[in-house]
Structure 1
Amino acid sequence: MRFTVRHDTLYRYSAPVRLGDQLLRLKPYGVHALDHRYEITPTPVWREDGPSAFGTPETRVGFAGETDVLHIVSRFTCETGHPTPVSDQPNMATYLHLLPEDSVAGFARDLMQEAGDVPRFLELLTETLYRRTDRHIRPTGYAQTAEETLRIGRGACRDLAVLFIAACRSLGIPARFVSGYQAKAETPDGKRHLHAWPEVWLSGVGWQGYDPTHGVAVADGHVALSAAPDQMGTMPIEGGFWGDGVSSELEFGLEIEVG
């Protein structure tokens, strides 16, 4: 599947500010025929590209002088759907940290008992969260706790990802949080949004994604940008500014074409 994406982020400041270094996580990984570029205003005075501590792409940029805007546009085309070779096994302890609440562990044990093995458990967990959860868009804020999402049966994609990860880790299955895009366009507000889903490490397979928001295993309809043990390590843009009494406003736009 071919993706063409424009991801537009604009910060407006109420007065000129000095920008801190910015960390960008908007370049896809695990795809083919990738053509990616950043367009950044003001122009950075330096740039460093490299992998994160967890092996996915990051770009750091620094600025000089003052500005009343920070405009970051990420554009790319890529192809998905080709097999990706299994990478070296990461430190599994990193993806097993964070003991889940008793209710989540009990929920996971019950599903595993019904499933009988890990592959079927992952399918059943995906199907169960899709079926039982009132899924919605929440544009801002961090993910709810796994226990809260399980208890109220309502959440955004990042909430379902966190619950899925906690359920897997309670059974000793390494799991991580992924941020990216997906091909399906149907949303309640008619707009495109960043998407989140979990991945688990399967011996002989590598990282395999599941999308409980849509009730499917991840295949060629998803493009990953960043993966980490938790949501904080996948934020698309991290950075700050200096300016006394200055406020900021954020405008966001995302265009995705799939062919």
Structure 2
Amino acid sequence: MKLAVRHVTRYGFDTPVRRLVQSLRLWPSQFEGQTVLDWTVDTGSAIDGAGFRDGAGDWTQTASLRGPVEVQEITVTGTVETRDLAGVLRGHRERVPPSAYLTATRSTAGTAELRALAADALEGMDGATVLDRAHALCRTVNEAIEFVPNETEPHTTAAEALAGGQGVCQDHTHVLIALAHAVDIPARYVTGYLMSTEDSVGAEASHAWAELWVDGLGWVGFDAANACCPNDAYIRLGSGFDAGDAAPIRGVVDGAATETLDVSVGVVDGARQSQSQSGGGQEQSQSSDGASQSQRQQ
């Protein structure tokens, strides 16, 4: 499938800041499941800095803007040809060992409640494969947390999301990672895009899912918000220990100001788009006062 993306992020400051430095992880991953046909990251008047591929295989580039800065807009456009590999991250080159992703963060820290949920999910599966156990954990998270936007905050932890029983894909992913850690399965947070369908949730903004390590297969994606493995409707950008670590945009502001964030994301079938510019995609704008320089995945 050919997926066409347009992703616009606009930061505004009520008081001009002296300088803005951002770390951008907005380029699609290199693996057998996706081929970039064209891709542009436009940072406006910012100065592009050094770029590098990190140990997890993700491309990162810096951008800086000298003030006074009142508005910074980043526009991502491009087309990616995707293949359905049943969630398997085949052909992705990285140097970080899977065992590193048994490390918990504040967002994915285990609690008695999370460990109990993991045990319940795997009850009677003592002889099951890691893959089957991973699927069971994914289904359990989908059932435990209802997808409801605006019920959690960017810094909501896995334990808090489980207690509330509601959240967005960021919360589903944090909880799934915590459950995987509870049963010694390496797991990490993944950011990207999802083309909206009638049945999908969380596709109106940048999306998130987890990857769990399965011996013999490697990293396998699990989207707990949709109770499935990523297919050719997904574009993978990058990974990390949690949402903050994997954020597509992170930044540092030199100056005291209240920040607002507006995001619009459109992912459409590129083949249909070439026939009609009005086909297939949905866009959503988000605003938040005092937002941080890292985006929240819906």
TM range (shorter): 0.7 to 0.9
| Aligned ranges 1:5-154 → 2 under 5 Å | 5-29=5-29, 30=31, 31-44=34-47, 46-81=48-83, 84-85=90-91, 87=93, 90-98=96-104, 100-116=110-126, 117=128, 118-138=130-150, 141-154=153-166
TM superposition shift of 1:73 = 0.5
Deviations 1:127-156 (A, max 9, x none): 222233211223983253222333332221
1:168 maps onto 2:180 in alignment: yes
Q: Closer, same or farther in 2 for the Cα pair 1:43/1:187, shift >3 Å?
A: farther
TM-score (norm 2): 0.77
Q: Closer, same or farther in 2 for the Cα pair 1:250/1:144, shift >3 Å?
A: closer
* Residue in structure 1 matched with residue 217 of structure 2 by the alignment: 205
What is the number of equivalent residue pairs in this alignment?
257
In structure 1, C-alpha distance between the alignment counterparts of 2:197 and 2:149, rounded to whole Å: 13
SS at match of 2:123: helix
The answer (yes or no) to whether the contact 1:2–1:78 under 8 Å persists in 2 is yes
Question: Which runs of 5 or more structure 1 residues have no equivalent in the other structure?
Answer: none
In structure 2, C-alpha distance between the alignment counterparts of 1:207 and 1:188, rounded to whole Å: 22
Q: Closer, same or farther in 2 for the Cα pair 1:178/1:189, shift >3 Å?
A: closer
Give the residue type in structure 1 aligned to 2:222. Y
TM superposition shift of 1:43 = 3.5
Indicate the structure whose relative CO is greater, using CA pairs within 8 Å and at least 6 residues apart. Answer: 1
The answer (yes or no) to whether the contact 1:129–1:160 under 8 Å persists in 2 is yes
In structure 2, C-alpha distance between the alignment counterparts of 1:191 and 1:109, rounded to whole Å: 30
- RMSD across aligned positions (CA): 2.6
TM superposition shift of 1:15 = 4.2
In structure 2, C-alpha distance between the alignment counterparts of 1:182 and 1:71, rounded to whole Å: 22
Which of 233, 236, 250 aligns to 2:248? It is 236
Runs of 4 or more consecutive aligned structure 1 residues displaced over 6 Å after TM superposition = 187-191
In structure 2, C-alpha distance between the alignment counterparts of 1:86 and 1:253, rounded to whole Å: 29
In structure 1, C-alpha distance between the alignment counterparts of 2:135 and 2:154, rounded to whole Å: 26
Give the residue type in structure 2 aligned to 1:59. Q
Give the residue type in structure 2 aligned to 1:144. T
The answer (yes or no) to whether the contact 2:196–2:203 under 8 Å persists in 1 is no
Give the residue type in structure 2 aligned to 1:247. T
The answer (yes or no) to whether the contact 1:86–1:204 under 8 Å persists in 2 is no
In structure 2, C-alpha distance between the alignment counterparts of 1:190 and 1:198, rounded to whole Å: 14
* Residue in structure 1 matched with residue 288 of structure 2 by the alignment: none
The answer (yes or no) to whether the contact 1:150–1:163 under 8 Å persists in 2 is yes
TM-score (norm 1): 0.88
Question: Which runs of 5 or more structure 2 residues have no equivalent in the other structure?
Answer: 271-298
Sequence identity, in percent?
Answer: 27
TM superposition shift of 1:35 = 1.6
Q: Closer, same or farther in 2 for the Cα pair 1:141/1:52, shift >3 Å?
A: farther
